[in-house]
Amino acid sequence: MTRRWWLCGAMILAMSSALLARQGVVKTKDGQTLEGDVNETAAADTVSVTIHGAQVLLPRSDIASIDYGGDWQEFNKRFDALAPTDVRGRLDLAQWALQRNMYEAARRATEDARRIEPDNAEAALLLKTIQSQQVMQSRQAATTRRTIPVIPPSAPPPAASPPRYLSNEDVNLIRQTELRTDDIVPIKFVGDVRQRYLTAVDQDRGAFLAAAPVDQAIQIIQTGDARLTRDVRIGGDPRPLGQFQARIQKRVVVGCAAGGCHGGNSGAGGLFLYSDTPDTAAWYTNFYILQMYKTQINAPPSVWGQGPAERSMLDRIHPTQSLLVQFGLPASLAATPHPRVAGWQPIFSSQNDPAYLDMVQWIGSLKPVEPDYQIQFELPKPSASTRRASGAAPH
């Protein structure tokens, strides 16, 4: 497909057609999503989208769909209902929009909150989060996922069941995604990957080579180019992952997996965790399961609405609303109580329990961006083999 529209899209047009535009979402045939003021009447063969002040022109032949309804109407309704000085309401509405990947709507509500309170630290952090998620979405759309090697005809057929644990390559992908500049971990650059990186990007060679290995690794990883990133090996655990292995997983295993509810021969609610985690791949698999697990709950009334809603085991933006936290509280104290099951016991005594506070602090220490590890791994389900391996008693 021709990509000439990207050249047009980079231009900021001199004339605005705001009176003819409506808030909407445009999806292109190659997987891009653009949100903003959509004008279909500017020309017969093009559609314009105004995004944060810049106007982008798209050929109609490259457009898969245009949506003006649903969440955009709900956002506008809630935004118009806010009091002129309601900063909290604007930030909550921005979070609501961000959870739906409505980046321009989230930015609009956040910037309006900053207009009221220019020094609001939460608004400043939220704007950075919005920008980070937009960058990540663009990178994901532009990066080809890792391909599975073709097995030679002479090789034995692959096993029918998925691998039990994440591979070493998968572990490295998680470490790359969670790596931060203040982490102290060994970095191995395979072959001439740093030279290939400098050849591929417009970068100050001297400044790059003078940077710490962790900073060099992060710069290469941020390209999203698998031909480069696969040759950056992280030899240790970024801080939050090390904390998960040392403190957090132990409480989860004792309270969930070892009890038979989510381990052994049981995987209640579709959540299965390993209680035997003797090596790195095993406990990284538990972390990955918790990160990826989402479920539908009947949510109480809130700024996000009420009724059926998807909730995450690890909510990086709202740590206290993480199901891992809520399900660990006594039912009388939880906003989202653990489903009623025989023999269930809370992990925490209250919101003042040091273990509860430690769990919330740990989730809040994760990067405030929903990660995409680019991992192809089927989440485990209880089976005869996992029952024998875990050694847990029947539930």
Mean pLDDT in runs of 10 for the chain (395 residues)? 39 38 74 73 71 72 74 82 93 85 83 92 86 64 41 50 78 93 92 91 88 92 90 93 86 60 48 74 87 76 62 87 85 80 76 87 89 83 42 32
Give φ, ψ of 59 to 5 degrees: -65, 135
**What pLDDT does residue 53 have?**
62
Give the CA distances from residue 290 to residues 24, 192, 256, 281, in Å, rounded to whole numbers and listed in that order. Answer: 33, 36, 12, 14
Tokens 């980070």 locate to 132
What is the Cβ-side half-sphere exposure of residue 58, based on CA atoms within 13 angstroms? 27
In the chain, CATH 2.30.30.100 sits at: 4-67
In the chain, CATH 1.25.40 sits at: 72-142
**What pLDDT does residue 175 have?**
95
- Answer whether 329's CB lies under 8 Å from 383's CB: no
**What pLDDT does residue 89 have?**
94
Give φ, ψ of 140 to 5 degrees: -65, -40
- Answer whether 212's CB lies under 8 Å from 255's CB: no
Tokens 């698999």 locate to 285
Structure-token pair, residue 264: 């052994």
Alpha-helical segments (H) within the chain: 4-9, 71-81, 87-99, 103-116, 121-142, 168-178, 193-200, 205-210, 213-221, 226-229, 239-243, 249-252, 280-292, 323-326, 354-365, 384-390
Q: Sign of the C-alpha dihedral, residues 97, 101, 106, 108?
A: negative
Domain covering 72-142: architecture: Alpha Horseshoe (1.25)
What whole-number distance in Å separates Cα of residue 66 and Cα of residue 150? 38
Closest by CA position to 323, among listed 357, 361, 296: 296
3-state secondary structure of 255: helix
Strands 187-189 vs 232-234: parallel, antiparallel or unpaired: antiparallel
Does 4-67 carry CATH code 3.40.50.2300? Answer: no
- Answer whether 239's CB lies under 8 Å from 180's CB: yes
Structure-token pair, residue 20: 């003819």
- Answer whether 324's CB lies under 8 Å from 359's CB: yes
In one letter, which amino acid is 331? A
Alpha-helical segments (H) within 192-254: 193-200, 205-210, 213-221, 226-229, 239-243, 249-252
**What pLDDT does residue 235 have?**
92
Structure-token pair, residue 29: 């045939």
Burial 101-119 (b: 16+ CB within 10 A, else e): bbbbbbbbbbbbbbeeeee
